[in-house]
Copies of this chain bind each other. A is one copy, B any other.
Amino acid sequence: MGLDDRKLAVLRAIVEDYVATQEPVGSKMLVERHQLGVSPATVRNDMAVLEEEGYIRQPHTSAGRVPTDRGYRLFVDRLSRVKPLTPAERRAIERFLVGAIDLDDVVHRTVRLLAQLTRQVAVVQYPSLARSSVRHLELVPISTTRLMLVMIADTGRVEQRLVELPGPIPPDDVIDLRQLVNEKLVGTRLADTPPLVQALVDEVSGELRPAMVTLSTVLLETLVERHEERIALAGTANLTRGGLLDFQGSLRPILEALEEEVVLLKLIGEVEPSAMRVRIGDENEIDNLRATSVVSTGYGPGVTILGGLGVVGPTRMDYPSTIATVRAVARYVGDLLAQN
């Protein structure tokens, strides 16, 4: 049952050809375009075995073979040779990311770059708040009963949120509050703040207390739980590339999935410390994306991981290049963030 080397070579050749031509590949073509050193008949026998094992299949009885999700999986795991980026690509990455001003700017440029290089849909998660720490908290009075809370994280992310106070509050108290929260929270990692916020509330008494209670609710609610993550998307037009041949003709479910932040987060945000993650077709947990493959990884300065990024494309994508590109972009972004 073991697949010998030649069978693996055949599978690899099939994947490579199919990705390149987008057409089912037959035995004759295969021996012509690759140095397999055997006759078409032999290749046919190998293909029969590969099909039986579920790595390839025939769209119609009398057509060439096409890789299955399982076939791609084997290819990615064992058969693909790393494809180094072209110098042009390296240059593109540098050129694109140099000159970014802002975190927003970095994220936007990154997502566009990724979409352009891979010619697929790119997704970039903003540095996760849970993994950042507080650099500064600002309270700006909007009216006597409203404050704007602005939090600046060390990654450069800025989050704001309106606070409705239970009653009017004098300006001096606002200053006190600001002082207080900054003292206690600056420098702490956001994941660690909840108990600290609680402690803060307990510490405060007198007139400030009601305001502090409300403020703490908002702090916990907004900055730690809800909305916590943001995501940027680009390159949806690339879905129309294969002329609707990929994705069994309907972009609908894919576009729908890509509009759900929650879905995207699940896709890109769940980063294990390890490395590259490739989900092929059926391996995707999200039903709407069963016709696609997702290549994602984490990024951050050094080994720290601040967020995820990746691309979504047809299962018949050029995995080696895509993986190489995603990895390279993630590294660059990580380095860029390290400079701040």
CB contacts under 8 Å to B, within A224-256, are 227, 234-237, 239-240, 244, 250-252, 255-256
| Contact of A148 with B158 at beta-carbon distance under 8 Å, contacts A240-B251, A255-B237, A259-B236 already known | yes
Q: A102 near B239 (CB under 8 angstroms)?
A: no
* A234 interface neighbour in B138, B162, B250, B259, Cβ under 8 Å: B259
17 A–B pairs (Cβ distance < 8 Å), ordered by A = A101-B161, A101-B162, A104-B227, A138-B138, A148-B158, A150-B150, A150-B152, A150-B158, A152-B160, A158-B158, A237-B252, A237-B256, A239-B255, A240-B250, A240-B252, A240-B255, A244-B244
Interface size class of chain A, counting residues whose CB lies under 8 Å from the partner chain: 20 to 34
A261 to B, closest residue via Cβ: B108
CA distance A258 to B255 in the complex (A): 13
The verdict on A140 contacting chain B, using a C-beta distance below 8 Å, is yes
Query: Using Cβ atoms and an 8 Å threshold, which residues of chain B touch A235?
Result: 259
Residue ranges of A at the interface with B (Cβ–Cβ < 8 Å): 101-102, 104, 135-136, 138, 140, 142, 148, 150, 152, 156, 158, 160-162, 227, 234-237, 239-240, 244, 250-252, 255-256, 258-259, 340
**Chain copies in the assembled complex:** 2
Query: Using Cβ atoms and an 8 Å threshold, which residues of chain B touch A236?
Result: 236, 255, 258-259
